Structure 1
Amino acid sequence: MSAQPFATACYHCGLPVAVGASWSVRIDGQARPMCCPGCEAVAHAIVDAGLADYYRTRSVFAERAEGVDLVPPELALYDSAVVATQGEQREGVYAHGVYAHGVYAHGVYSHGVYSLDGIRCAACVWLIERRLARLPGVREAQVNVATERLHMTWDAAACKPSDIVQALRGIGYTAYPYEAALHGVKQEKNRKKQFRQLFVAGLSMMQVMMYALPAYIADDGTMDAPMAALMQWASLLLTIPAVLYSAQPFFRGAWASLRARMPGMDLPVAIGIGAAFGASVLATLRGTGEVYYDSVTMFIFLLLASRYLEMTARRKAARALEDLQRALPAAAQRLAGWPASRQATMVAAASLAEGDVILVEPGSAVAADGVILEGHSDIDLALLTGESRAQARVPGDELPGGAINTTQAIVLRVTRVASDSTLARLVKLVEKAGQGKPRIAQWADQVAAWFVVGLLLLTVAVFIGWQMVEPSRAWQVAIAVLVVSCPCALSLATPTALAAATDALVRRGVLVVQPHVLETLQRATHIVFDKTGTLTEGRPLLRHVEPLATLDAARCLQLAAALEAGSAHPLALAIRTAAPSGAPHATELHSEAGQGVEGTIDGMRYRLGRDGYAGAAPAPRWPDVSNVYLGVDGVLLARFELADALRADAPEVVRRFKARGQTVILLSGDDQSVVSRTGAALGIDTAIGQQLPEQKLAYVQQLQAQGAVVAMVGDGINDAAVLRAADVSFAMGGGAALAQLSADCVLLSNRLSALDDAALGAARALRIIRQNLAWASVYNCVAIPAAAFGLINPWLSAAGMSLSSAVVVINALRLRRARTA
């Protein structure tokens, strides 16, 4: 069978176009050839949508569209879910995934996450987002190029999932609902390919070195010409796999950057490899001249090794976030007849409703947020809060979805459905994380691009200069200049440092949502704290027990705990938590709203509650203290003083920020006297109370107008506006969902000391990034002139460049070791 002759390349996918082919599309005023009807249809769809700029800005060809069914029948499966009705919020389960439905001001909306195939460069992102923005009813379309995911929000009445998939297929991209397992399989496949390329390059390097070493150590005349030629031919055969297979990423990246007219760091690498290999092949064929097979294989191996390290760091950082997404179980054991019946029925976690009672067995994850009704157990919250030690939980305690029950079976009443659970909210935050780059990373990319252009011009000048001085060395010196340079350190090490720092912070319970957090926190001049739930626990704690009769404090506390055994009131929970073990059993319990509770213990009738209810006595009045009294037969036995206590770590956190020279401010809606006392206890000089949400916002904006860089820390719904307005903001993990969604960072552990961990992590990350950039600058300033003057040969240049990349990556990986001081 004769080979098919070809005339040119397809303008859409770059594959050859057969002679006589009639497919074409008019783009930018010219008829562009197409290789098949599929590419022609896709190109027509792009041009007809007014998106021809895609072809001017793309950096690589698109995937071939031949055989793509633009309207596949299975698209209807995406629309088979029950659509939410006005006023509801539900979930629809599609053939290949789950989409959340909700309600906005003008109707019902849906949100979905898609995996994308066919993304080749930044122009693909531009094309996808603009094509989808033109669909009726689409409210938001964001592509995360790093994870190859599309986040969509659309009006369910005007747009269907099949419309989205069909629109993407129409411009040559395949989309399907995101599934963590499939996405992980794809990532693992790419990792294995990179490892195979690294392995082949390493094997080639070691074998070539075996043949190159005798030539280096041989004295004049000790190796005859036939033996030297044999060594060179063997080296050539062993270098070919490294160049044709292992070096593929560099050549593809270089070609992409040339097509985009934006020279990237792969360009000098590819030119260096190609030039050194081409010169070596020519010298081998001629039987005279220098060969650089050892330099080529060493260069490819060391650079691939540094990139493999960088990829590993990124994957480890991403894995900590993806674990959150996989933590919520798909099923739960519902106790429909509890407490009369203990018969458990396995149901989908998504079908649980508020008020359902579920059984959580040892070793199982909690399917939804709830309150323990029965059972004592230790709970592992490591995934949610970063706390490594299991924590004891008793009836009345709240548990978040995703927590792991470790010891005893417990019975739980669902307080939030799975789609609105603590973990589900965190997953939404995770989806926002990692999109975009901080300014320092963008600066590094821009510098690297200009660096590459300057390097190429310098290489040409060096080659011309050596042609005039010593032509025999011109090619060798030019190759050394190309190879020795290290733009990788500028573009590679900065994201590696950020990924490693993010990984370390997630393991300590700090979820970085926005990319600028570490950089802005390091520059912050003012740290503004809310009070309740931020500097304080946000719930009453027993501060003091004052016996008023013959019984001691411990016995009074046991009696009070017995009376409050079945109550869910925050004050009752505080008393039960503080009571020593061995509390008696109370019977004939009776409560009066707003007054207290009474019951019989060991034949005596006790009352617990307000002073007038438990017994007549004068009571001290403090605006931030609740007093609860225990009495019997009208005689007061004890006074329990409960207050919203300061967090144990608050004083040290405030002290550390002040020690760094940052101004600490307390801004609260509470009474001024309470705020002043809290500020005095913490050593905060500026403590402002009685602030409405709009007043908090105005205060922060006033600071910013004066040149301050403001970091805001809060937890309540009323903090959402000021959190969004601050330069960088932090929400407590136990705070309101709206506050978390408005913040740039969430302290999952609900520890205030995690904020100090973030500050330390920010300082270390920025310090290491500056070290990397400084190292890259110094290295290039020394190595490039040395190579240009002929002081460094190509193999030494390859070692220097690759080791330079490895140094900055390894330096960045030090950030994965979380430090607390």
Structure 2
Amino acid sequence: MTVALKKNLSDDLTSVTAGQAAQGCYHCGLPVPAGCDFQLEIDGDRQPFCCPACRAVAGAIIAGGLGNFYQFRTELNSRAEAEVDAEDYRIYDTPELQQSFVQQLDDGTRRAQLLIEGITCAACVWLIEHYLDGYGAVTGVKVNAHTHRCVVDWQPEAGRLSDLMAALAAIGYRPMPATDDRLQDLQRRESRQALLRLGVAGIGMMQVGMVAIGLYAGGLQGIGETWEHLLRWVSMLIATPVVFYSARPFFSGALRVLRARHLSMDVPVAMAIGGAYAASCWATLFGGGEVYFDSVSMFTFFLLLGRYLEMRARHRNAAASGRLAHLLPLSVRRVRRSEAGEEIADVAVKQLQVGDCIRVRAGETFACDGEVLEGRSGAVEAMLTGEAEPVLKQPGDRVSAGTLNTDGSLLVEVKALGQHTQLSAIEQLVEQAQQEKPSQVALADRVAGYFVGVVLIVTGLVGWFWYHQAPEQAFWICLSVLVVTCPCALSLATPTALTTAIDTLRRRGLLVTRAHVVEGLEKVTCVVFDKTGTLTQGEPRVEDVVVTGELSRQRCLAVAAALETGSNHPLARAFADYSGTVFAEGIETVTGSGVSGRIDGRDYRLGTADFAAAGAPPPAGAGQWLALSVTDATSGRVQLLAWFSLRDQVRERAAAAVAALREELQLEVVLLSGDSSSATAEVAAAVGIANYRGGATPQDKLDYIQARQRYGDVVMMVGDGINDIPVLSGADVSVAMGSASDLAQTRADSILLNGQLEQLPAALVFARRARRTIRQNLGWAAGYNGLALPLAAMGWVPPYAAALGMSASSLVVVLNALRLGRR
């Protein structure tokens, strides 16, 4: 909560809260026991406290220069704990425990995900953020008032996490790690509380309805004044917990957005419930007019029912994403070998370290990323790639955490654990995509805010009209207008469909890392492919060596392997089998051209003809040719030593994918490659691409993309490798292959985990279907509000029917979005 927002809080609300505090403990509001003299001077006045803990918490807040918190909070705090001991949080400084909720960032900063207990209002968020900002070790703090989740970035060399957690506890907010177990517990508590509110509203609705039957029957047949007053009082007593407990989320939500000078659907709902209840109480206490406690209870129940079902759908989508805790085993079988024999022990996953060996039997899940040392078996990697068929794993192959061993027993060396696994990285990317707000959702939110404002104006005009036509009906018609036109369905129409679409694409093997992808895929007009590692397998092999200089064939291969040491370019893997006999130093990579380095005091180059062979033409023949040359130290003359012919296999279904893009979806398909023109032409002919270009530098690719965009095309770029990073960043929608470099994947909007190119046209078709679903949802929401508003304004929709209609409209869009994922 910003300081500007803090200054805009209501003075009336401030005085009420301060007054409540003055009657009891200044911090928590509880009664001060007789004879207690726990006081503290705040703003020149002696304030009472119920216990030393509350006084200590208030003292910490005041000492931090944050005394304004008490002026602008909207609810009283929970009673402080008896004592805060920093040693209680020392356990969270252990690296093994931090693996589950602390992330190491690239700049050395650490990021902790915490859940905070005790948050009651937006002022609490302001207090936590500003209090932690006062610590020199903290570089950033973000608190979500809805989920009670806090993200803290801090420098480990400047302070310990336990000190930050103890500081939060000292001001009355108990922090805990935001692990999967705790997040699931939070969801369970949210569901339990929602069910309790719904249950209270349901029981109240039924009981008030029974009493209302007597009132309505008495109105028709006659009823004594005493009995009428009694029934009204009974109705009020039953409806009161419905309004003050069950309907509380609507009031708190309305208050929150009004303080922030915004409008949401909670505003008209809170006005409707509060207004109907207040008017009915007035009629009960002072006589005259009708009471509608049954209507208040009924539409509160229907509103809560709609929100509960929406919450269940949201939780179901989150569960479908596959949490790490659900996939990994709790313990593993660790194997240690020595001269004395083999020692096998069952240990917890958290006790594993990189370099340990574990035995994974058939039917068990891999607990880590690792390398197979012994055995042969299949692994189902559907959670990562969407491919249900087992992939053969044998010595030297990598396995991933969360995947399933199907056939035989494997001995695996641990390479990565916890947050460093591929599964955890995918999980973080999914969360990133879900946290982003695409333009469609942002537009819907803005429209909903304006719509609420229009509804309030229309309600005022309708009330003015009916006040002059039928004053006894004016209030209830306004109530119906407020409820029936609440834009819940409008706000839910887009995000529910997008969330379902992102999860469905992930299950098919396309991991969406930016939320705008689903929106962008539907508009794509041109698809641009890279060649190596994209249309081809990315595993080239040396097919021929043409020696032109003083070195032997084996020496040339060894020099080339030394120059490619450490490179993650697909072409470097072609020389991996020849490494180990020669070593290079001062290796430099020229993106799109080649590599250079010094071996035994001589400068070598390996790469394209222009880079390594001074433009000399390569030998005739198919394949991609790389030149190896050496530069004379005295004359500076470049001597060509050898030509290497490399060939890479085209992906099995690349031609079918290109055909589907061109013929079925009517999109233009282009191949841009930095490889030679002959190699590019060979691959283009094999997959059926007529528009291609070889020898393209990264800048050439980016220029081509930007030129197409200037002509109005929406371009999707599919690439692999570091040289594709500029064009991946510049394309409207970008897809990195699952085997791409880490840097390329971070710059891409989505990752094709399973490497199956046929998923691309399927994703484009699915994006169009998702777009249709969004349009259906928006059409339904707009049509419903357009029809319901005039009917309610004419007095044809009673309040309970208005609540039922609004809840039904929200459920329609949610169920329609869920249907998208099942088709």
TM-score range, shorter chain: 0.7 to 0.9
Q: 1:735 aligns with which of 724, 734, 740?
A: 740
Q: Secondary structure at the match of 1:780?
A: helix
Deviations 1:662-720 (A, max 9, x none): 44332333322222332333343432333344544454445445554433323324334
Moved more, 16-25 or 313-322: 16-25
Task: Give the superposition deviation at 1:811.
Answer: 2.1
Q: 1:802 to 1:349 in 2, by over 3 A?
A: closer
In structure 2, the partner of 1:422 is 422
Q: 1:273 to 1:99 in 2, by over 3 A?
A: closer
**Correspondence list, 1:180-195, <5 A:** 180-195=180-195
**Correspondence list, 1:263-302, <5 A:** 263-283=263-283, 289-302=289-302
Aligned partners of 1:13 and 1:64 also within 8 Å: no
Q: 1:672 aligns with which of 673, 677, 684?
A: 677
In structure 2, the partner of 1:44 is 62
In structure 2, the partner of 1:805 is 810
In structure 1, the partner of 2:319 is 319
Structure 2 Cα separation of the partners of residues 657 and 247 of structure 1: 55
For the aligned residue pairs, the C-alpha RMSD in angstroms reads: 4.5
**Correspondence list, 1:110-129, <5 A:** 110-119=110-119
Q: 2:689 aligns with which of 656, 663, 684?
A: 684
In structure 1, the partner of 2:590 is none
Task: Give the superposition deviation at 1:171.
Answer: 6.5
Structure 1 Cα separation of the partners of residues 364 and 339 of structure 2: 21
Q: 1:422 to 1:713 in 2, by over 3 A?
A: same
TM-score, with structure 1 as normaliser: 0.74
Moved more, 724-733 or 474-483: 724-733
Structure 2 Cα separation of the partners of residues 123 and 755 of structure 1: 47
Structure 2 Cα separation of the partners of residues 300 and 510 of structure 1: 41
Structure 2 Cα separation of the partners of residues 34 and 464 of structure 1: 49
The amino acid that maps onto 1:751 is Q
Deviations 1:612-670 (A, max 9, x none): xxxxxxx99521699xxxxxxxxxxxxxx984222415533562366445443323333
**Structure 1 position 795 matched with structure 2 position 800:** yes
Task: Give the superposition deviation at 1:377.
Answer: 2.8
Aligned partners of 1:272 and 1:483 also within 8 Å: yes
Aligned partners of 1:263 and 1:453 also within 8 Å: yes
Deviations 1:53-96 (A, max 9, x none): x899x8955745744867734344444x4xxxxxxxxxx22489
Aligned partners of 1:142 and 1:150 also within 8 Å: yes
Structure 1 Cα separation of the partners of residues 502 and 178 of structure 2: 23
Task: Give the superposition deviation at 1:410.
Answer: 1.8
In structure 2, the partner of 1:93 is 96
Task: Give the superposition deviation at 1:781.
Answer: 2.5
Q: 1:132 to 1:711 in 2, by over 3 A?
A: farther
In structure 1, the partner of 2:780 is 775
Q: 1:367 to 1:796 in 2, by over 3 A?
A: closer
Aligned partners of 2:60 and 2:171 also within 8 Å: yes
The amino acid that maps onto 2:521 is L
**Structure 1 position 470 matched with structure 2 position 470:** yes
**Correspondence list, 1:356-755, <5 A:** 356-416=356-416, 420-539=420-539, 621-623=621-623, 643-648=648-653, 651-652=656-657, 655-656=660-661, 659-704=664-709, 707-755=712-760
Q: Secondary structure at the match of 1:523?
A: coil
Q: Secondary structure at the match of 2:321?
A: helix
Deviations 1:400-422 (A, max 9, x none): 22211133222234455665432
How many residue pairs match? The answer is: 713
Q: Secondary structure at the match of 1:412?
A: strand
Q: Secondary structure at the match of 2:358?
A: strand
Aligned partners of 1:209 and 1:294 also within 8 Å: yes
Deviations 1:527-560 (A, max 9, x none): 33222332333236999xxxxxxxxxxxxxxxxx
Moved more, 430-439 or 181-190: 430-439
Q: 1:644 to 1:6 in 2, by over 3 A?
A: closer
Aligned partners of 1:541 and 1:644 also within 8 Å: no
Structure 1 Cα separation of the partners of residues 680 and 147 of structure 2: 45
Q: 1:495 to 1:399 in 2, by over 3 A?
A: same
Task: Give the superposition deviation at 1:191.
Answer: 0.6
Aligned partners of 2:180 and 2:324 also within 8 Å: no
The amino acid that maps onto 2:19 is T
**Correspondence list, 1:44-83, <5 A:** 44=62, 47=65, 61=75, 63-64=77-78, 66-67=80-81, 72-79=86-93, 81=94
Aligned partners of 1:8 and 1:17 also within 8 Å: no
Moved more, 466-475 or 225-234: 225-234
The amino acid that maps onto 1:8 is G
Task: Give the superposition deviation at 1:143.
Answer: 5.0
Where does structure 1 lack aligned partners over 5 or more consecutive residues? Answer: 82-91, 544-569, 575-590, 596-618, 627-640
Aligned partners of 1:200 and 1:241 also within 8 Å: yes
The amino acid that maps onto 1:72 is A
Q: 1:345 to 1:446 in 2, by over 3 A?
A: same
Aligned partners of 2:658 and 2:688 also within 8 Å: no
Aligned partners of 2:680 and 2:692 also within 8 Å: yes
Structure 2 Cα separation of the partners of residues 471 and 460 of structure 1: 14
Aligned partners of 1:78 and 1:94 also within 8 Å: yes
Moved more, 177-186 or 405-414: 405-414
Task: Give the superposition deviation at 1:306.
Answer: 1.6
In structure 2, the partner of 1:616 is none
Q: Secondary structure at the match of 2:297?
A: helix
Structure 1 Cα separation of the partners of residues 505 and 73 of structure 2: 35
The amino acid that maps onto 2:370 is G
The amino acid that maps onto 2:768 is A
Structure 2 Cα separation of the partners of residues 744 and 13 of structure 1: 51
